[in-house]
Amino acid sequence: MAPATHEESSVDVLVVGGGLAGLAAATYAARRGASVTLLEKGRDLGGRASTQTRDGFSLNQGAHALYRSGIGHQVLRELGVKPEGGVPSLSGGYAIAGGDKHTFPGGFLSLLSTSLLPWSAKMDVARILATLPRLDTRPYERASVSESIAALTKSDEARDLLHALVRLSTYGNDPERQSGGDALAQLQLAFDASVLYVHGGWSTIVEGLRQTANEAGVEIRAGDRVDSVDVAPSGIEAHASSRTIHAGAVVFATGPREAAELTTGDVSETLRGWASEAAPAHAACLDVCLDELPVPRATFALGVDQPIYLSVHSAVSRLAPEGKSLVHCMKYLGPCPSGDPGADERELEAAMDLLQPGWRAAVTHTRFLPKMLVTHGLPLASAGGVGGRPGPSVSRARNVFVAGDWVGPEGMLADASLASGRRAGSLAAAARIAAKAA
């Protein structure tokens, strides 16, 4: 029972979590006529979409990219949020293999000239890239990434490159469990319209969503932790640090484990089951702020025989002061990370030595995130890919919904967060309005 000193209030829909999914869910619910309160335990909104500013550098939580033809971009446009930024190019990039850098085969001419691949593998890659845009990915949804790539390729070298491209586009490094169909569909998105590196960092998207939510009438309370949520057919009672809230419906815009820990009974059992089946992905991230870029034309590198990625995001996006540079380096951690963050950091620094020799003398700041959560759950082949993900409805409770990058049949990463937020908010509002009309 909540302390007697707490305030009490009533609302149609309560949203727990103020990241992309929560802000989207809250706004869609409010736009459909529901009264909505959003509670976020952190001081700031955004979660992993937040941006830290340091001496004019805008540091996202790792290397973020918005897929321009993804469903997340569509949801943002529906909400009136229009991110601005730059589109990176693979031209002039490098592939890292065998301890050396090679011309990245990002186009026909670079594919012909690169030292990365023998001639037979070049023909294999050319065939794959030519057929990828019209490839029907559905037959591969229940096949793993490894199985799917093996079926599409004829050479080991082409296979390694395709694995690297999947890591790049999905941020996942779990090829034996990850759905090959969804990975290939994500590759199609990348080659269709590329991605956007957002000016000022992803906090600009969060701020746009916050403004949109406010305009829709959502009450947003940051720094207000939810301690427990009691679910009953007659309604929801949530106990937070500042108040007790009675709601007709609740949207958990959190990870499945966190949502399960807030509830009891059948709802908690369902959520714990989903949490146990989820396959989270992590990455080690090194952000490097430089007074100058030693090799200005070397703005991208992708590891082929090691799961690493480097990109100078400030080359196309306003993330650094004039004349300075911000480099995002990532190592895509596997399902069982080594547990040696120091080794991961040194591996990324060695890749920087290869791509940008002399960078250490130009460093202004560095930030290392040893095990950043990329997603609460990769789409799994065993579940049939995104079509087998849980939610947004929780079957054992007609007034409980979930949203996040692990939820629903649409998209991956931020795309999934925004798409499931749209669906969960709309369903929660409809459920509450129907209950009030009954």
Whether residue 325 lies inside any domain: the answer is no
Whether residue 335 lies inside any domain: the answer is no
* CA gap 270, 276 in Å, rounded: 10
Same domain for 244 and 393, yes or no, is yes
Query: What token pair was written down for 182?
Result: 């969804």
The pLDDT value given to residue 1: 46
Whether residue 313 lies inside any domain: the answer is no
DSSP category for residue 379: P
The pLDDT value given to residue 395: 85
Are 178 and 388 contacting, i.e. CB atoms less than 8 angstroms apart? no
Domain boundary among 150, 165, 190: 190
Same domain for 217 and 144, yes or no, is no
Residue 87: which of 370, 390, 299 has the closest Cα? Answer: 299
Q: 203 by DSSP, 3-state: which? A: helix
**Cβ neighbourhood burial of 327 (10 Å; 0-12, 13-18, 19+):** buried
Same domain for 431 and 409, yes or no, is yes
DSSP category for residue 182: H
Same domain for 117 and 231, yes or no, is no
- Domain at 29, CATH number: 3.50.50.60
Whether residue 257 lies inside any domain: the answer is yes
The pLDDT value given to residue 5: 52
Same domain for 115 and 179, yes or no, is yes
Beta bridge partner(s), residue 311: 300, 328
The pLDDT value given to residue 92: 78
* CA gap 299, 276 in Å, rounded: 39
Whether residue 304 lies inside any domain: the answer is no
* CA gap 183, 144 in Å, rounded: 9
Residue identified by tokens 């290397």 is 63
* CA gap 236, 382 in Å, rounded: 34
Whether residue 225 lies inside any domain: the answer is yes
Residue 32: which of 66, 73, 78, 94 has the closest Cα? Answer: 78
Residue identified by tokens 């004829």 is 154
Whether residue 70 lies inside any domain: the answer is no
Beta bridge partner(s), residue 325: 290
The pLDDT value given to residue 6: 63
Domain boundary among 133, 165, 190: 190
DSSP category for residue 316: T
The pLDDT value given to residue 2: 45
Count of structural domains within the chain:
2
* CA gap 63, 85 in Å, rounded: 14
* CA gap 55, 231 in Å, rounded: 46
The pLDDT value given to residue 438: 67
DSSP for 300-319, please give it.
Answer: EEEESSS-EEEE-GGGTSS-
Residue identified by tokens 């060695």 is 350
Same domain for 112 and 176, yes or no, is yes
Whether residue 338 lies inside any domain: the answer is no
Same domain for 385 and 427, yes or no, is yes
- Domain at 173, CATH number: 1.10.405
Domain encompassing residue 38: 7-49+204-278+380-437
Q: Helices (DSSP H) in 203-319: which residue ranges?
A: 203-215, 256-262, 265-277
Same domain for 269 and 397, yes or no, is yes
Q: How far is CA 244 from CA 7, 31, 65, 262, 345, in A?
A: 6, 24, 38, 14, 44
Same domain for 149 and 214, yes or no, is no
Per-residue model confidence as pLDDT tens for the chain (438 residues): 444 456 899 999 999 999 999 999 999 999 999 999 999 999 999 999 999 999 999 999 999 999 999 999 999 999 999 999 999 987 779 999 999 999 999 888 999 999 999 999 999 999 999 999 999 999 999 999 999 999 999 999 999 999 999 999 999 999 999 999 999 999 999 999 999 999 999 999 999 999 999 999 999 999 999 999 999 888 899 999 878 999 999 999 999 999 999 999 999 999 999 999 999 999 999 999 999 999 999 999 999 999 999 999 999 999 999 999 999 999 999 987 767 889 999 999 999 999 999 999 999 999 999 999 999 999 999 999 999 999 999 987 889 999 999 999 999 999 999 999 999 999 999 998 887 776
